[in-house]
């Protein structure tokens, strides 16, 4: 090979490289439990993110570039969440929508803070997530100290003088939510009859169920995820208990009904007003349905998280996480969930939880529709 | 008192499932002296095959529950037995003459292979089925309004366990195959010299163990209504503990150990705290092993000269 040809080749290669860099996509990440017992919720997050990236690219991308999506799987395991976070940070991804489990979001957020990644959680409700005053965290959903109060309100109104038991699964989310609900109940002078915990992943709850039966419990409040709650419900009905089960936002997936079947009827849970019914979400909900996805639970929250970030990036003209964060906190953002604004800690201003009820056909709906919206 | 009986029912059913799995551990240990760590995952495979068979039967329009249950039982026993046989053939038999730890390591590897295989093939999600056997009986209702409830699923689980245990005890004690098994347990070389096909006997032991694990998997699916690829691990550990507690190598011991673990867990959660039920179960295991090193029904190992 002659020297001239070599130079030509080197030039060609460098041009090819530079065009590759020029056309490089902006990668954003979504992280959550894509596998394991909480994978139903990971799927909600992923569906929201995939749809958003497709929509954003169809609308011309961001800052003249295309968006690409990286999906991280934490299996709702704190250790795995931390290592996914480190990978996202070291890949130089500026933004992550995630995680789902509070016990994953909290340790991951520290790795994101060190690695200069902006994190918006669409679903983690434990107060600690924003209470540590990290610079990089935002939360689109409500907090358990708000959710617990709404649950306690409902219990006080409808189960006054009755027997209430509170169970939790010892996770950051489950224990946190159960504690907040208990606190709100006790503050109003209501004493629960039983406060117990179980292990996440347990399958046999018959012994606890018999205890509920012995204590004539009318309502059991479960701070935990849908799989265990579903099993508790099934085993209660098997033992002939009519006790009503109430839980938090981790019940907003149809998978709960696939565990319980028609037994789900009457089960209560708290969650934000159904995002699918918001006027701002109408067009996008239809688009989801066209692709065969029901955007339930946290799907639209994830979509909204990505909307907030891209709008702020457009305004800031850069993806630099620190600058984008300042822009986000300074403004108010139009999203599928309506107009969103954040306080200094990164919590959303004005959230309201409402109580939902499952029916025998495996659907859930707001108990008192229109109240929250 | 009614409360006690309700918890007793809960504990017996849980213990039956542990016992069914424990038999597989104890049998293999009795005959080849190795702990088959893949057994918990064979149990999980059994659960999945029961689930798949169930869904297939429902989708072709079969609705008569007893027929469904019988077909599911037979298919899952047959297919899982095939898994058991294959595992023994490819992972244990070539290592039988090797050093003592080799088959055990191979078993641990097999356990990962099976659980990762079903994770990839079936997905990592939990697979639920709607309740198949519903209804039950109220045995007694106290003045305070506490009803002792026995559900039909619980009856099915316990009856199946008792029937299988009876058949199996008869098989070992009375049949020619049982005699071969006991011969291999005592001395493989001598058994071979006397015309017992050792390889075949060991293979059959794995096949039977896997078939029992399949039954346990199916009972688990019916009782709890879901399976996942990870369930073999915890259930396997509990059943292995049950086998050790009962005296590893002893069949009635495995059943007794299973019942003991189930009852301890249940009564500890019933009268003390739910949080520490596993701690309680394993503490009792340690205490039993300190005073009875061979377990409840185990025989001390006689050094062969």
The CATH topology of domain B2-291 is ABC transporter involved in vitamin B12 uptake, BtuC (1.10.3470)
Q: Is A230 on the interface with B (CB under 8 A)?
A: yes
Q: Output the CA–CA distances (angstroms, integers) from residue A127 to A149, A343, B91, in the order listed.
A: 13, 14, 50
Best of B2, B6, B156, B282 to mutate (most A CBs within 10 Å, chain A):
B6
Inspect the interface and report whether the beta carbons of A255 and B224 lie closer than 8 Å: no
A118 and A17 in a single domain? The answer is: yes
Instruction: Quote the domain boundaries for residue A187.
Output: 145-271+353-366
Which of A351-365, B77-91, B128-142 is least confident?
B128-142
Determine the distance from the C-alpha atom of residue B269 to the mean position of all C-alpha atoms in its chain, rounded to a whole number: 23
pLDDT for position B285: 84
**Residues A273, A372: contact at Cβ < 8 Å?**
yes
Q: What pLDDT, on the 0 to 100 scale, is given for residue A10?
A: 57
Backbone phi, psi, residue A359, to 5° = -110, 175
Same-domain status, A224 and A293: no
Instruction: Please give the angle made by the CA atoms of A231, B65 and B123, to the nearest 5 degrees.
Output: 50
Q: Which pLDDT score is estimated for A20? A: 42
> Cβ(B12)–Cβ(B158) under 8 Å?
yes
Decide: B249 and B22 in contact? Cβ < 8 Å: no
pLDDT at A183: 93
Summarize pLDDT for B95-121 with one digit per residue, the tens: 988 888 898 899 999 999 999 899 889
A240 in contact with B, Cβ within 8 Å = yes
Residues A134 and A156 in one domain: no
Among B131, B228, B270, the residue with its CB nearest the CB of A261 is: B131
* B266 interfacial to chain A (CB closer than 8 Å): yes
CB proximity under 8 Å: A 110-169 to B:
none
> How many other β-carbons are positioned within 10 Å of the β-carbon of residue A194?
16
pLDDT for position A18? 45
Would the pLDDT of B63 be above 50? Answer: yes
- Asked if A337 and A357 sit in the same domain, the reply is no
Does A197 reside within a domain? Answer: yes
- Provide the ipTM: 0.86
A252 plus A286 within the same structural domain: no
What lies within 8 Å, CB to CB, of A119 at 6+ separation is A95, A96, A98, A105, A108, A109, A112, A136, A137, A138
Which of B216, B215, B230 is CA-nearest to residue B70?
B215
Q: State the CATH number of the domain containing residue A311.
A: 3.40.50.2300
| Long-range Cβ contact pairs of B52-59 (< 8 A, separation 24 or more) | B54/B129, B54/B132, B54/B221, B55/B129
Separation in Å, CA of A208 to nearest CA in chain B: 7
Name every chain B residue with its beta carbon within 8 A of the beta carbon of A263.
131
A75: closest chain B residue by CA? B124
What DSSP state is assigned to residue A280?
G
> What residue ranges do the domains of chain B occupy?
2-291
A247 by Cβ neighbours in 10 Å (0-12 / 13-18 / 19+) ranks as buried
Query: Which residue is it, tokens 């469904």?
Result: B68
In a domain, A373, yes or no: no
Interchain CB distance below 8 Å, B275 and A170: yes
* SS3 state at A216: coil
**Per-residue pLDDT tens over the stretch B70-79:** 999 999 999 9
Which has the closest alpha carbon to A274: A188, A189, A354, A186? A354
- CB within 8 Å: B7 and A216: no
The answer to whether the CB atoms of B278 and A199 lie below 8 A apart is: yes
For residue A371, tell me if it sits in a domain. Answer: no
Please check whether residues A118 and A130 belong to one and the same domain: yes
B278 contacts on A by Cβ (under 8 Å): 199
- Asked if A364 and A252 touch (Cβ cutoff 8 Å), the reply is yes
**Rounded to the nearest 10 degrees, how much is the dihedral formed by the CA atoms of A240, A233, B222, B153?**
-10
Q: What is the pLDDT along chain A (373 residues), one digit of tens a residue?
A: 565 565 555 555 554 444 444 457 899 999 999 987 888 899 999 999 999 999 999 998 898 899 999 999 998 999 999 999 999 999 999 999 989 999 999 999 999 999 999 999 999 999 999 999 899 999 999 899 999 999 999 999 999 889 999 999 999 999 999 999 999 999 999 999 999 999 888 889 999 999 999 999 999 999 999 999 999 999 998 888 899 999 999 998 888 988 888 889 999 999 988 888 888 888 899 999 998 889 989 999 999 999 999 999 999 999 999 999 999 999 899 999 888 999 988 998 877 799 999 998 888 988 876 554 4
The number of residues making up chain B comes to: 305
Same-domain status, A22 and A134: yes
Instruction: With CA atoms as reference, report the closest residue to A126 among A87, A93, A99.
Output: A99
Nearest CA in chain B to A42: B125
Share of chain B above pLDDT 90, in %: 49
CA-only gyration radius of chain A, Å: 23
Q: Please tell me whether residues A112 and A75 are part of one structural domain.
A: yes
Residues A49 and A173 in one domain: no
Report the pLDDT value the prediction gives residue B119, as an integer from 0 to 100.
87
> For chain A, how many structural domains are there in total?
2
Task: Label residues B259-288 b or e (16+ Cβ within 10 Å = b).
Answer: bbbbbbbbbbbbeeebeebbebbbebbeeb
Q: Are A180 and A148 in contact (CB under 8 A)?
A: yes
Are A319 and A261 in the same domain?
no
Note whether B124 contacts A208, CB cutoff 8 Å. Answer: no
In chain A the beta strands, taken as DSSP E runs, fall at 26-32, 67-73, 95-98, 118-121, 137-139, 164-168, 194-197, 219-223, 244-247, 268-271, 332-335, 338-341, 354-358, 364-366
Q: Where are the beta strands (DSSP E) in chain B?
A: 127-128, 136-141, 147-151, 226-227
Mutate to test the interface with A, among B5, B143, B145, B149 (most CBs of A within 10 A): B149
CA distance A211 to chain B (A): 7
Q: What is the pTM assigned to this prediction?
A: 0.85
Chain A interface test: which of B130, B228, B271, B278 (most A C-beta within 10 Å): B130
Residues A360 and A260 in one domain: yes
pLDDT digits (tens, 9 = 90+) for B216-237: 999 999 999 889 888 898 889 8
Q: Which residue is closest to B268 within chain A, CA to CA?
A: A207
CA distance B161 to chain A (A): 18
Residue among A30, A100, A110 at smallest CA distance from A72: A30
Nearest to B235 by CA among B44, B28, B24, B52: B44
| pLDDT value at residue A17 | 47
């Amino acid at each position: 090979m002659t020297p001239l040809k070599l130079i030509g080749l080197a030039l060609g290669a460098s041009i090819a490289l530079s065009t590759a860099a020029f056309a490089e996509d902006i990668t954003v990440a979504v992280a959550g439990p894509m596998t394991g017992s909480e994978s139903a919720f990971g799927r909600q997050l992923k569906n929201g993110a995939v749809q958003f990236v497709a929509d954003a690219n169809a609308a011309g991308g961001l800052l003249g570039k295309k968006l690409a999506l990286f999906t991280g799987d934490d299996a709702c395991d704190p250790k795995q969440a931390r290592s996914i976070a480190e990978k996202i940070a070291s890949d130089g991804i500026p933004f992550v929508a995630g995680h789902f489990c509070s016990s994953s979001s909290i340790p991951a957020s520290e790795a994101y803070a060190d690695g200069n990644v902006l994190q918006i959680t669409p679903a983690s409700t434990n107060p600690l997530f924003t209470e540590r005053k990290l610079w990089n965290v935002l939360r689109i959903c409500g907090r358990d100290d708000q959710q617990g109060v709404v649950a306690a309100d409902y219990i006080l109104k409808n189960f006054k003088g009755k027997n209430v038991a509170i169970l939790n699964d010892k996770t950051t989310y489950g224990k946190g939510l159960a504690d907040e609900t208990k606190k709100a109940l006790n503050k109003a002078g209501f004493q629960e009859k039983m406060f117990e915990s179980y292990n996440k992943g347990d399958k046999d709850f018959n012994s606890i169920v018999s205890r509920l039966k012995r204590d004539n419990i009318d309502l059991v409040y479960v701070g935990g995820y849908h799989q265990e709650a579903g099993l508790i419900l099934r085993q209660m009905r098997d033992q002939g208990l009519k006790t009503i089960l109430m839980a938090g936002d981790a019940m907003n997936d149809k998978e709960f009904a696939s565990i319980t079947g028609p037994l789900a009827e009457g089960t209560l849970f708290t969650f934000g007003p159904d995002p699918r019914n918001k006027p701002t979400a109408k067009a996008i909900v239809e688009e989801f349905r066209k692709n065969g996805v029901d955007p339930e639970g946290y799907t639209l929250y994830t979509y909204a998280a990505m909307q907030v970030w891209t709008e702020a990036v457009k305004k800031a003209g850069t993806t630099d996480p620190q600058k984008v964060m300042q822009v986000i906190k300074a403004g108010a953002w139009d999203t599928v969930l309506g107009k969103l604004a954040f306080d200094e800690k990164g919590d959303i201003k004005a959230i309201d939880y409402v109580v939902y009820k499952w029916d025998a056909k495996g659907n859930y709906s707001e108990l008192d529709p229109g109240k929250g919206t | 008192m009614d409360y006690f009986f309700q918890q007793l029912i809960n504990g017996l059913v849980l213990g039956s499932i542990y016992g069914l799995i424990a038999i597989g551990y104890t049998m293999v240990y009795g005959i080849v002296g190795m702990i088959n760590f893949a057994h918990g995952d064979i149990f999980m495979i059994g659960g999945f095959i029961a689930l798949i068979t169930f869904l297939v039967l429902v989708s072709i329009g079969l609705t008569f529950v007893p027929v469904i249950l019988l077909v599911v039982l037979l298919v899952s026993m047959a297919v899982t037995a095939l898994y058991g046989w294959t595992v023994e053939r490819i992972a244990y038999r070539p290592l039988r003459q090797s050093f003592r730890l080799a088959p055990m390591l191979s078993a641990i590897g097999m356990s990962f292979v099976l659980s990762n295989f079903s994770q990839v093939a079936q997905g990592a999600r939990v697979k639920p089925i709607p309740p198949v056997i519903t209804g039950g009986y109220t045995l007694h209702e106290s003045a305070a309004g506490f009803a002792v409830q026995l559900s039909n699923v619980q009856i099915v689980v316990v009856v199946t366990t008792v029937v299988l245990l009876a058949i199996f005890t008869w098989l070992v004690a009375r049949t020619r195959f049982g005699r071969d098994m006991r011969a291999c347990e005592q001395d493989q070389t001598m058994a071979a010299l006397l015309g017992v096909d050792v390889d075949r006997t060991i293979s059959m032991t794995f096949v039977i163990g896997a078939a029992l694990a399949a039954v346990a998997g199916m009972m688990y699916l019916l009782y709890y209504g879901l399976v996942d690829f990870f369930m073999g691990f915890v259930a396997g550990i509990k059943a292995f503990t049950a086998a050790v507690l009962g005296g590893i190598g002893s069949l009635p011991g495995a059943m007794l150990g299973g019942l003991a673990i189930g009852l301890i867990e249940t009564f500890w959660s019933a009268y003390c705290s739910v949080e520490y039920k596993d701690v309680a179960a394993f503490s009792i295991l340690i205490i039993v092993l300190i005073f009875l090193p061979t377990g409840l029904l185990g025989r001390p190992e006689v050094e062969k000269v």
